Amino acid sequence: MWQTRCLEEYEEYEIVLNDFCQLADLDISVFEKFASESKPERIEIDDLIPRGDFDEFWKISDQILFGGEVVATFMRDELEIGEIGFEWVGSHDLKRFYREDGLILISLNESKEERSQKVLTALKELRTRRRRRFRVCKYCKKKTPPEHGGSTCHNCMSIHEGIVF
């Protein structure tokens, strides 16, 4: 599939994924399904710095965010898969941050096939972990991430509980 199309047929997320896989020497076909569900986008390198390691951010070569939920970072000597979280700065500004718990490191010493599979497994694991934090809103029954209220979504808090945001 990847080899038989011309460049104009690729969607933006596929180009982002392709660039990342080339750089990190990963087998792109392994990520095809995952990436179609959780479309990757490139993010600013200094936006989500792994492990709070501000001294060594220069080691990061590329960083992509899948579906707004999980981050893959290619560094000089390893790949790191992390989950993002969100926190409110003031009452209107939702800021994303790099969660330091549950990071998964993948060595570059393994074969391309092994490494690609491990990266995929890690991405899935952290996406599941993120989604387990969601709660069903008791009013509208929608699955709601914690930063939007969890078991009572912000929208329903306004409607049913009179809370003004």
27-35, 84-92, 125-133, 155-163 -> range binding Zn ion (CB under 5 A): 155-163
Least Cβ distance, residue 159 to Zn ion (angstroms): 8
Question: Which three-class secondary structure state does DSSP give residue 147?
Answer: helix
Interface with Zn ion includes 137 (CB under 5 A)?
A: yes
Total Cβ atoms within 10 A of residue 65: 22
Does 139 interact with Zn ion (rule: CB under 5 A)? yes
List strand residue ranges (DSSP E) for the chain, in order: 40-42, 60-66, 70-75, 78-89, 93-98, 104-107, 135-136, 143-144
Query: In the complex with Zn ion, which residue's Cβ is closer, 51 or 133?
Result: 133
Rounded least distance, CB 149 to Zn ion, Å: 7
Q: Under the criterion CB under 5 A, does residue 159 sit at the interface with Zn ion?
A: no
Torsions phi, psi for 101 (to 5 deg): -90, 145
Which residue from 124, 127, 81, 87 is spatially nearest to 100, judged by alpha carbons?
81
Residue 134 interacts with Zn ion (CB under 5 A): yes or no = no
Position among 15, 94, 140, 163 found at the interface with Zn ion (CB under 5 A): 140
Site of interaction with Zn ion (CB under 5 A): 137, 139-140, 153, 156
